[in-house]
Structure 1
Amino acid sequence: MVFPIVLFLVLSSFLLGQAAFNAGLPVKRWVVAGALLGPAAYPLFNSHKQLAYRKAMGKQGASINM
């Protein structure tokens, strides 16, 4: 029973590391988060990716205010 859980966590950390690399985020941090939290780290990753994108865009990505 332990082997499938460990395999699932390793696979989750690998996929989260690949996604972090593609998004330009720190890979080691997200690999460790994937290994510890499993798929529960994916919503955290998505929100962090969106915040990093907004920070990089600055005022250019702002919507029009009336």
Structure 2
Amino acid sequence: MILIITLAALLFGGLFYVAALQSALPPRRWALLGCLFGPAAFPLFMAKRRWSLICARGMAYALLRA
């Protein structure tokens, strides 16, 4: 049981590390959060990713154009 939890923590840490690198977020911080909280940190990651995109592009930029 402990082996499965450890492997899952490493897996989620690696996945969050790669996703943070692709999103220009600090990868070590997100890897640590992924190891500690697993998939429960995903909504927080997506919110931070969206917020950094809005800050970089500005509020007037539309992500979806009709």
**TM-score by structure 1 length?**
0.87
Residue 44 of structure 2 corresponds to which residue in structure 1? Answer: 44
**Unmatched segments (≥5 aa) in structure 1:** none
Which structure: greater helix fraction?
1
Write out per-residue CA displacement over residues 1-60 of structure 1, whole angstroms, 9 at most, x where no aligned residue. Answer: 110011001100000000000011100110010011011111110010000000001144
Count of aligned residue pairs for this structure pair: 63
What's the C-alpha RMSD, in Å, of the aligned pairs?
A: 1.5
Residue 22 of structure 1 corresponds to which residue in structure 2? Answer: 22
Query: If you compute each CA radius of gyration, which structure gives the higher value, 1 or 2?
Result: 1
Identity %: 37
Runs of 4+ in 1 over 4 A off after TM superposition: none
Aligned equivalents of 2:6, 2:23: Cα separation in 1: 26
**Unmatched segments (≥5 aa) in structure 2:** none
